[in-house]
Structure 1
Amino acid sequence: MKSLRIITITLLVTTLTACNKWLDVQPKTTMKADVLFTTQAGFRDAITGIYSNMTTASSYGTELTLGFTDVLAQTYDNVPTALNHKYLNSANYNYTEAFEQIRIAKLWTQAYKSITNANILLSYIDDKKQVFTGKNYNLIKGEALGLRAYLHFDVLRLFAPSPVMGADRKAIPYVDTYTNVPFPQLSTAQVMDKIAGDLTAAQALLKDADTYGPNRASFDLTEVNEIAGTRRYRMNYYAVTALLARVELYRNNKTAALAYAKEVIDAGLFPAYSPSGQTAAGDNVFPLEHVFSLTIPDLKTKYADVYFLQVADGQNVNSLSISADLLNTIYPSGLNTDYRISWFQDNSAKTKRVTKYTYNTVIPLLKISEMYLIAAEAEPSVSSAMAYLNVLRAHRGLSPLDAASYTRETLDKEIGDEYRREFIAEGQLFYYYKRMNADKLPTLAAFKNKEAVYILPIPVAEKEFGNIE
């Protein structure tokens, strides 16, 4: 895709034969859009194709979760000095190096490829409303709008100034129609308005149609069809609401962020982790907490085993590991009861490897734990905010903190520490630092130029051929 003008003319789809295949998003074939969108099954397969695009290495399979974005957050302290490591320049924020330019261009292109496919689907769906049964039109259209917003938000968080850096500064294009006309480069504030608009539209569509929505109790879950019955890990109503909480906090609208976070928490559909409920090794990633996640059937062999191998120091030049010393600062003395310590295994006497994805096929993109952290940060009362934080701590094996001993400033420091513990290998920590406009990261000296760290350069091809300054 160049300058957002070269539009995909076929959609990646999945041929599905049973309900349990609905979450298996491996591509099987391609089909012309005019043929694909003549049936409800075609729309179903098209939305699954968008998820498939999102599982690639240049998207959430690696770079936007356990790889690039977590390297930017300095999660893995073996990388910044590892000779010939594929992420060496990433860890040192050398975005102009040739390979980094290629990596960054792929991130941009892959995101807009998924956005384009969402737009193709949306360009057909209203005219084909008659092919849908039940409430499936609302489900698929709401899901497509939610995915389009999710993808744009992460492009914004990577390639544009954050609101605190300047909401009126030039940001990225918001591509919301299927066309070959270049889209204008909007400001951060304008893009965030577009994101919020898509999400509120998705909420309205999903509210009464989604089995993972506020009317869940009204559904006979033994009789719902394949589409309506498989909402647990998809862009469901509460995933849209959780994303709204994340979006509103990013632009410092704490009142709205708190309301959205509370709605997800109060739904009671995403129970926080308890070790008594663990039944399998895959529970290591706390799957019941996932409000939205991606299923990647070959997650272990394709991604986890590539970067989190159980090998001696230096044996794998591209391994991602955390030193025992760093881990002890993230989970200091007194936190040895923290259930999250089970996410790590000895790589050697001095290093640890991440095992979150060794025993499961799911990468979380939105979790109930984040909703507790958003509520704690957005709640104006320190005592009420601490109550949210203490719920999360209890479900991580930690003792409660006494609100009387904390000011707003010291409580926010605790919240930041929890972000650092909670989102290892999930790609969210860098965005937290950027939202807070942090002058430095815990393992680094103060930045000489924060913007050169927090704002990735828009690919050169987009500037040459598109409507971008």
Structure 2
Amino acid sequence: MFETDNGVLQALDGAYVLAAESIYKPNGYMGGGGFAEYLACTWTNTNVDLAAHVYNLDNASFATGLDAVFMAFYKIINSLNPMIEGCDKNREKLSDEYYNIVKGEALALRASLHLDLIRIWGPMPMRVDASMEYLPYVTRNSIENYQYHTFKRFMELLVADLDEAEQLLQKSDPILNYPSDGSTEYTGSWTDRKSHFNYYGVLGLQARARLWMGDKEGAVRYAAMVKDAKNEDGTPKFTLAVEGNIGNNLFYPEHLCGVNQDKFDYQQSGFNPGITMLGYYNSNYNSFVNDLFDGNTNDLRYKSHWSWTRNQMRQNVRVTKKYNEMYPGSTAKRNMPVVRLAEMYLIIMEAGSLSEANVAYEEYSAARNLTYTPMSESDRQERVLWEYIREFAAEGQNFFTYKRFAVKRMLWQNSEAEDCGEEQYVLPLPPSEYKKR
């Protein structure tokens, strides 16, 4: 399989299928209705233990579920490693184009999966134990126990994967030569680049990873590379979603990379209020708008992502709109984003110089229907934190935002739950993995 262009491409497609079925999916582990979102307390009516950050490994159901999440990531990594090795072993039999794109995407997907693993099971970035070996970074499959790495070494291996992916994709990725909006289609085997870990997706992952490891300068540099990227005619490669041009309710113009969701059916999922109640946020409607959007009902995210229903007992506010265009027959782009342009703006707003931050914030405010007021050094961290939460609610990212900012009380966290610290932000290894150590 790894001796032909078509063979390595099929192997890569198989890894994407696994990712689309379990990890990067609206109701997958890293989606808006799954594991990571329960940890962020977005949904508090189901999976109560996760929402309350009670990680009781003596509870067989919880322990089994935790093991399933852990192994889902490594299962995909397990499928990528032989393919990456095969690309190198058979380098002379593969065309430059296929070698560069297939291996580049595989390295980027491997890095993204490992980054999510260390963000879940690794330390709070502000409280890294330099001597602690947290997780294995697996680059070669083995029947032996894998070596666990310190946070520093783990992130070095992760950045090495991203660096190589960046170099390979820069040589051959057609997204460099075509508009990302699909107005001009890519050629050959490389269609639908936003549903792959393309060159700009790798730059976005570089920014995310470097911010997580405390390299603010590097994070801002990569975020700016994406924000400032241009097509050959000088137009922006990516644009923020704005009123009248959101692409779809997941803001498709902003997608840097993602995973295709043609098989996902919103109408049969927990996001559909007619099917089941996905632990939705129950609240007085006005309280919800004030809690999350500071009363601004003109906020583009409020209008594009949230809906509400009312019965005799209460008003139910739900994030139904974010995924409601993903169903068979829909003409909308059915892509689960892994990285969006909005995150690049927020990284610059958080970690750039104050002047850089406010330039980005003014553009961001105009796109999101916010009243722009310049940030100061004393208030920008708090303001940027809230924009992260508004932006990525029900998208699988907010637990990591809370963890990186060391937030003690999450929005919508049960009032009886303990404040969040290391015990809440660093999940225990599942029992089956713990025994191996």
- TM-score category (smaller protein): 0.7 to 0.9
**CA displacement 1:176-234 (0-9 Å, x = unmatched):** 11332322111112111111111011111111211223x669xxx97964333442331
Distance 1:348 1:252, change over 3 A: same
| 8 Å contact kept, 2:220–2:352 | yes
1:283 deviates by 1.2
Matched, 1:428 2:391: no
1:63 deviates by 2.0
> Number of residue pairs matched?
407
**CA displacement 1:381-425 (0-9 Å, x = unmatched):** x23212212211211122222x2xx42231111111101110011
Give the corresponding residue for 1:183.
Answer: 146
- Helix, strand or coil for the counterpart of 1:419? helix
**CA displacement 1:25-70 (0-9 Å, x = unmatched):** xxxxxxxxxxx22321111111111111112246644221212211
| 8 Å contact kept, 2:4–2:93 | yes
Q: Structure 1 length normalisation: TM-score?
A: 0.81
| 8 Å contact kept, 1:171–1:186 | yes
| 8 Å contact kept, 1:258–1:378 | yes
Matched, 1:375 2:348: yes
**Matches of 2:81 and 2:205, distance apart in 1:** 19
**Matches of 2:152 and 2:63, distance apart in 1:** 26
Matched, 1:388 2:360: yes
Q: Structure 2 length normalisation: TM-score?
A: 0.87
Give the corresponding residue for 1:174.
Answer: 137
1:137 deviates by 0.7
| 8 Å contact kept, 2:407–2:420 | no
The 5 A counterparts of 1:70-219 are 70-76=37-43, 79=44, 82=45, 85=46, 87-96=47-56, 97-168=59-130, 169-213=132-176
Give the corresponding residue for 1:285.
Answer: 250
| 8 Å contact kept, 1:292–1:364 | yes
414-423 or 92-101, which deviates more:
92-101
Distance 1:179 1:352, change over 3 A: same
Equivalent position amino acid for 1:362 in 2: N
Give ranges in structure 2 of 5+ residues lacking alignment: 230-235, 327-333
- Helix, strand or coil for the counterpart of 1:275? coil
Give ranges in structure 1 of 5+ residues lacking alignment: 1-35
344-353 or 243-252, which deviates more:
344-353
| 8 Å contact kept, 1:265–1:371 | yes
**Matches of 1:321 and 1:439, distance apart in 2:** 20
Distance 1:383 1:132, change over 3 A: same
The 5 A counterparts of 1:17-28 are none
Equivalent position amino acid for 1:430 in 2: F
| 8 Å contact kept, 2:289–2:297 | no
1:98 deviates by 2.5
- Helix, strand or coil for the counterpart of 1:414? helix
**Matches of 1:379 and 1:222, distance apart in 2:** 34
- Helix, strand or coil for the counterpart of 2:174? coil
| 8 Å contact kept, 1:59–1:110 | no
**Matches of 1:152 and 1:400, distance apart in 2:** 37
Matched, 1:329 2:291: yes
Of the candidates 359, 366, 377, which is equivalent to residue 339 of structure 2? 366
**Matches of 2:61 and 2:280, distance apart in 1:** 18
Give the corresponding residue for 2:377.
Answer: 408
Give the corresponding residue for 1:6.
Answer: none
Task: Determine what percentage of the aligned residue pairs are the same residue.
Answer: 28
Equivalent position amino acid for 1:65 in 2: G
**Matches of 2:241 and 2:278, distance apart in 1:** 32
Give the corresponding residue for 2:269.
Answer: 306
The 5 A counterparts of 1:221-236 are 225-236=187-198
Q: What is the root-mean-square deviation in Å for CA atoms of aligned residues?
A: 2.3
**Matches of 2:290 and 2:420, distance apart in 1:** 29
**Matches of 1:372 and 1:194, distance apart in 2:** 26
Give the corresponding residue for 1:265.
Answer: 227
**Matches of 1:322 and 1:305, distance apart in 2:** 21
Distance 1:224 1:356, change over 3 A: closer
Give the corresponding residue for 1:21.
Answer: none
Give the corresponding residue for 1:451.
Answer: 422
Give the corresponding residue for 1:399.
Answer: 371
**Matches of 1:151 and 1:292, distance apart in 2:** 14
Give the corresponding residue for 1:463.
Answer: 434
**Matches of 1:331 and 1:117, distance apart in 2:** 42
**Matches of 1:234 and 1:316, distance apart in 2:** 31
Distance 1:449 1:365, change over 3 A: closer
Give the corresponding residue for 1:357.
Answer: 323
1:299 deviates by 2.2
**Matches of 1:316 and 1:142, distance apart in 2:** 40
